Structure 1
Amino acid sequence: MIKVDNLSFSFPQKELYKNISFTLEEAQHCAFIGTSGNGKSTLIDILMDPERYLFEGKLEIDPTCRIGHVSQFPQFDKTKETTVYEYLGEEYFKIQNEITAICTEMETSSDIEPLLEKYQFALDALDSIGGEDFESNISKKLNLANLMKLKDLKVSDLSGGEFKLIQVMKEMLSRPDLMIMDEPDVFLDFENLNGLKNLINSHKGMLLVVTHNRYLLNHCFNKIIHLEITEIQEFEGRYIDYNFSLLQTKVELQELKIAEDEELERNENIIANLRVIATYNSEASRGKALKARVKFQERLEARRIKAPFVDIKQPNISFGMDTEMEDTTVVQVDHYSAAFEELLLDNVSFEIKSADKVAIIGSNGTGKTTLLRDIFKNNHESIKINDDAKVAYLSQNQGEVLKESNTILEEFIDAGFKTYDEVRSFIASYGFEGEIVNQRISSLSGGEKNMLQLAKAAASKANVLLLDEPTSHLDIYSQIALEKAIADYKGAILMISHDFYSVVNGMDYVLIIEDKTIRKMSIRKFRQMIYASHFDKDYLEKEQNKRSIEMKIEVALKNNEFELAKVWVDELEALIKLL
């Protein structure tokens, strides 16, 4: 229903796509992935409204194709008084009222023909969204997402995560031929994330979903579209199989590349020798041999393997500290309470030691961000911060930490860097190189902004990190780099997260918010709780084992041990079949 053929598009400062092609067909649930800032959201905008963009190539959209859209940050008019049920059924009730009005008018009108036409048009519109089954379909969607309890609540009383899910349901209820969603998982707690998974898997139409969420990627999609460095790659199948295919290709390409490099080096040596000979032997045949060798070398360089999808540069996140603290309490919370229109947390107490890595877990709207922000501000009578603690904060409201009107260079000068060259050297390892450093922060993607926040936290050399949803908007490569940085960090971390991979892979224990209070839970018990609701037995252990084997393959490739890498690839393939 949608065909993109050799499409190219550039902004003045950046080329986004170069002759990209892909198709979207009926019944495909497609994940749209790629590193942050490569243009996924812009491509969605082009699909939604191609007339706004001057692109080269062809974009063919079936004229009968109706497109639904859930934006990255859906907004609701808070002044509008409506319940969740009324909001979900808005289009249905509007058509029903229109039909009633037409019928009333027909009772007294002498010119019935145009009214019959309007009546049929309204009936067709009603039929296109499910007709008389619409009200029961609302209940089915709410049950799928386990949100029936919200049915009679006002939309204005919902948390951000709950509203995001309601927005997804509303678009699905309109039954578009293609539904496009841009990071619908951001900031969803795990219960709501599971609800989103159920909604996606039950949806009968085409889906194109921008997501970096490993849980959704592993459980929801039958096609992958991967955008990297102006190029696109399509894959029919599961994300886990796509990832394995990339790894296999990487092993093959790197082995081939080593052979190519050796051939290039041999040829360079021959050219160097011929140049030396040419300095004291001017025979024409010597010059021809040299030219032939140089042309051969150019051909070798031209066919050198370029693989943007298997050689993605992972950012190098590293949290160091100016002062490493001895085993002591760095954050003390005693009898803390918080309210926002209603009581969120009541009489909460806990402490964080200098090397603790702790996740705060809880449903959307339970006061996690309020608590973390109060710890950072350190002006609440129930919170004490150790005098030797140097605290860095990453906010899910990125404007709290980043000045949107600054360029990237200006932001780090404001943070204490002395020169632009010093800034450039530091932020290069976080993926910010070239002209992007002169862009205003307001123009960056959500993932790029979060990566900037992580870079600022790293630059501060803090010994206490307060991280509010640090993996949100981050691409998978950056998420894994962050997990490694957390594992290597020697200081204390208090992290709000709904990404159970990050929690299980990096935290010592969790603090769970339930019934306006907090209780401590071991990672082992947290896993058991997750298993009981959402996973097959031993799923996370298999996932961790998978990651361990992938790292062994990476090490083997670094050492050019290709036969060993192939052995690990075979073991990984067997494990993936179990997942």
Structure 2
Amino acid sequence: MIKVENLSFAFPQKELYKNISFTLEEAQHCAFIGTSGSGKSTLIDILMDPERYLYDGMLEIAPTCTIGYVSQFSQPDKSQETTVFEYIGEKFIKIQNEINSILTEMETATDIDPLLEKYQLALDAFDSMGGDDYESNINKKLNLADLMKLKEVRVSDLSGGEFKLIQVMKEMLNSPDLMIMDEPDVFLDFENLNALKHLINSHKGILLVVTHNRYLLNHCFNKIIHLENMEIQEFDGRYIEYNFSLLQTKIELQELAVAEEEEIKRNDNIIDNLRAIATYNSEASRGKALKARVKFQERLEARRIKAPFVDIKQPVIRFGVDHEIEDTVVISVNDYSIAFDELLLENVNFEIKSTDKVALIGPNGTGKTTLLREIYKNNHDSIEINADVKVAYLSQLQGEMLKDSNTILEEFIEAGFTTYDEIRSYLSNYGFEGEIVNQKIESMSGGEKNMLQLAKVAASKANVLLLDEPTSHLDTYTQIALEKAIEDYQGAILMISHDFYSVVNGMDYVLIIDDKTIRKMSMRKFRKMIYASHFDKDYLETEQQKKSVETKIEVALKNTDFELAKVLVEELEELIKRL
């Protein structure tokens, strides 16, 4: 068990945690969630190497506890010649080679006793690691992830998504007591994401996974740790059940808040009357009554409901346009082809109209990002952009559109803002307030950098948006805010995304890569294709019913109809049990 009790920690410019406590116990698969920049990665660093940090409170980890770790920024070494099998089994192969070397040495040695002792120690180490089964276990994991085809492929030839899965397998094979993964899902296509789901669900040890991916959150975890506003909340259960509990609490708090607001208004009226009376009646008792009422009002204000995990401030993302284009073609791609070491795409043809919202879907490494970048640069013979189009681009390579050496203020001055006050006012909608705007971009988290990109895209007022993995590193609240911004946008969008929910909630149709070309697919067909492959047959219908009931609850809360909201919550609870 890992136990954290009353832990507090701060950087010079920012306080991250105030007396937080939580535990991780055997067989718990824990999702670690929270808004971008709240300190999730730093807390992981503290768990992995507590001696590096000066913190208050208690952190209990057994001295014998082994920790496996998969970073969000891992990339394959292009100079590495080892195969996938050799990379995953590296620790086992090393000891196995050592055992074989000792045996060879024993064949010619005159003094065999020291070698026998060395041989026995190596055998014991190999046995304690489960070495007898390591080849079988590697094959099982490769099969589980449907990646047996990569077994003899060089690690240097893997895509980023494939390498991330291979890393996960390698760490799991070492059977650590605690396995930590920091956003392992970033940039994984849907097939690889599903493979990651299988690997997580098959793992027998304790898991702590930072993720904002709603597909994984809904299907992989039995505990939630939520970090927000320097506080932590634990929940034993699935993410979908956690959200349901938050909704129940939200209804209760809103009902209480409305009642308190009415009580405060009544008290305000009494104070106003007492003050009016005091202007023409100076009796001491009148003054005392007024003072008592004012103190009572102050106490009411002080105990207003505070709910750091329910009432989380969501960013306000708005994609406006300076110049709307009538219903016409804004992007035309004709007979486009691309090849690097091999042909990736050929004979690609499609058109996008001025209000189309389109997802570009396909496995990792099939040329999607290159195509989007070439549309942005608009210097390819096969690509034609309407003369009235203004394009904005969000890159999955954040350094392509943001300068790490800039502060946030400097970045937005270069983007065309004229005063620091204007920037501060604008960025407050995106959660960047106070001194954070003076920080260098290189110190930002991945989620914060993507938020800055979204803020720059929105400020451009472009009428065509090219978005490459815009949800990567974004917390779930920002993902939902982005979906709303996409829904309200009056221009065209071409978006690469592997986030299933963002695609089905915001896009009109998909362009899907199939056999080195691209074909158009309706959203209805795309949804059915995904659900048929990865869900029970009734899941789609039940999830649509759930979304419909949640929308009705939102309307009921806006109308302060709490009785209706409670009836709908009961209906929602029954649907959640079926998911």
2:407, 2:450 → 1: CA distance? Answer: 15
What residue number does 2:542 align with? 542
2:71, 2:280 → 1: CA distance? Answer: 70
Q: Which moved more, 1:193-202 or 1:318-327?
A: 318-327
What residue number does 2:395 align with? 395
Q: Which moved more, 1:85-94 or 1:70-79?
A: 70-79
Change in CA separation of 1:295 and 1:531 when aligned onto 2, cut-off 3 Å: same
- Three-state SS of the structure 2 residue aligned to 1:335 is strand
What residue number does 2:127 align with? 127
2:219 is aligned with 1:224: no
What residue number does 1:414 align with? 414
2:361, 2:278 → 1: CA distance? Answer: 73
Q: How does 1:239-318 map to 2 (within 5 A)?
A: 239-271=239-271, 274=274, 288-318=288-318
- Cα offset for 1:561? 1.7
Q: How does 1:368-517 map to 2 (within 5 A)?
A: 368-517=368-517
Change in CA separation of 1:273 and 1:106 when aligned onto 2, cut-off 3 Å: farther
Please report the TM-score for the alignment, with normalisation by the length of structure 1: 0.96
- Cα offset for 1:190? 0.6
2:315, 2:63 → 1: CA distance? Answer: 42
- Cα offset for 1:497? 0.9
- Three-state SS of the structure 2 residue aligned to 1:518 is strand
2:458, 2:50 → 1: CA distance? Answer: 40
Change in CA separation of 1:423 and 1:135 when aligned onto 2, cut-off 3 Å: same
- Cα offset for 1:299? 3.4
- Three-state SS of the structure 1 residue aligned to 2:26 is coil
What residue number does 1:97 align with? 97
2:294, 2:180 → 1: CA distance? Answer: 50
Conservation of the 8 A alpha-carbon contact between 2:75 and 2:160: no
Change in CA separation of 1:10 and 1:495 when aligned onto 2, cut-off 3 Å: same
Q: Residue type matched to 1:112 in 2?
A: D
What residue number does 2:113 align with? 112
- Three-state SS of the structure 1 residue aligned to 2:536 is coil
What residue number does 2:3 align with? 3
Q: Which moved more, 1:165-174 or 1:314-323?
A: 314-323
1:429, 1:147 → 2: CA distance? Answer: 43
Q: Residue type matched to 2:309 in 1?
A: F
1:195, 1:291 → 2: CA distance? Answer: 66
- Three-state SS of the structure 1 residue aligned to 2:35 is coil
- Cα offset for 1:547? 2.5
Residue-by-residue CA offset, 1:381-423 (whole Å, 9 max, x unaligned): 1111110011011110011111111122221111111111111
Residue-by-residue CA offset, 1:46-87 (whole Å, 9 max, x unaligned): 111111111110000122211100001113322121111111
What residue number does 1:340 align with? 340
Q: Which runs of 5+ in 2 are unaligned?
A: none
What residue number does 1:81 align with? 81
2:306, 2:46 → 1: CA distance? Answer: 27
- Three-state SS of the structure 1 residue aligned to 2:474 is coil
Q: Residue type matched to 1:262 in 2?
A: E
What residue number does 2:43 align with? 43
Residue-by-residue CA offset, 1:534-562 (whole Å, 9 max, x unaligned): 11124234323322322322232222221
Residue-by-residue CA offset, 1:333-387 (whole Å, 9 max, x unaligned): 1111112222211121111111111111110100000100010011111111110
2:95, 2:280 → 1: CA distance? Answer: 91
- Cα offset for 1:308? 0.8
Change in CA separation of 1:545 and 1:413 when aligned onto 2, cut-off 3 Å: farther
- Cα offset for 1:97? 1.5
Q: Residue type matched to 2:251 in 1?
A: V
- Cα offset for 1:271? 4.5
Residue-by-residue CA offset, 1:106-160 (whole Å, 9 max, x unaligned): 56264835x5554444334323432210001110000000001111111111111
Conservation of the 8 A alpha-carbon contact between 1:553 and 1:569: yes
Conservation of the 8 A alpha-carbon contact between 2:76 and 2:158: no
Q: Residue type matched to 1:465 in 2?
A: L
- Cα offset for 1:41? 0.8
2:52, 2:34 → 1: CA distance? Answer: 24
Conservation of the 8 A alpha-carbon contact between 1:106 and 1:112: no
- Cα offset for 1:300? 3.0
Change in CA separation of 1:544 and 1:426 when aligned onto 2, cut-off 3 Å: farther
2:52 is aligned with 1:52: yes
- Cα offset for 1:275? 5.5
1:552, 1:438 → 2: CA distance? Answer: 42
Q: Residue type matched to 1:363 in 2?
A: P
Change in CA separation of 1:79 and 1:13 when aligned onto 2, cut-off 3 Å: same
- Cα offset for 1:523? 1.3
Q: Which runs of 5+ in 1 are unaligned?
A: none
Please report the TM-score for the alignment, with normalisation by the length of structure 2: 0.96
- Three-state SS of the structure 2 residue aligned to 1:7 is strand
- Cα offset for 1:283? 5.9
2:18 is aligned with 1:18: yes
1:417, 1:462 → 2: CA distance? Answer: 16
Change in CA separation of 1:8 and 1:387 when aligned onto 2, cut-off 3 Å: same
- Cα offset for 1:26? 0.4
Residue-by-residue CA offset, 1:482-537 (whole Å, 9 max, x unaligned): 11111111211111111111111121211111221111111122122212211112
- Cα offset for 1:451? 1.3
Change in CA separation of 1:117 and 1:246 when aligned onto 2, cut-off 3 Å: farther
Q: Which moved more, 1:127-136 or 1:382-391?
A: 127-136
How many residue pairs are counted as aligned between the two chains? 578
Residue-by-residue CA offset, 1:212-266 (whole Å, 9 max, x unaligned): 1111111111001011111110000111111001000100011111222233333
2:125, 2:321 → 1: CA distance? Answer: 62
1:268, 1:386 → 2: CA distance? Answer: 60
Q: Residue type matched to 2:544 in 1?
A: Q
Change in CA separation of 1:559 and 1:125 when aligned onto 2, cut-off 3 Å: farther
Q: Residue type matched to 1:314 in 2?
A: Q
Conservation of the 8 A alpha-carbon contact between 2:322 and 2:463: yes
Conservation of the 8 A alpha-carbon contact between 1:129 and 1:173: no
Q: Identical aligned pairs, as a percentage?
A: 81
- Three-state SS of the structure 1 residue aligned to 2:392 is strand
Change in CA separation of 1:282 and 1:520 when aligned onto 2, cut-off 3 Å: same
Conservation of the 8 A alpha-carbon contact between 2:83 and 2:151: yes
Conservation of the 8 A alpha-carbon contact between 1:401 and 1:453: yes
1:120, 1:58 → 2: CA distance? Answer: 40
Conservation of the 8 A alpha-carbon contact between 2:326 and 2:354: yes
Residue-by-residue CA offset, 1:191-213 (whole Å, 9 max, x unaligned): 00000000001111110001111
- Cα offset for 1:272? 5.0
- Cα offset for 1:105? 4.7
1:44, 1:208 → 2: CA distance? Answer: 9
1:323, 1:478 → 2: CA distance? Answer: 26
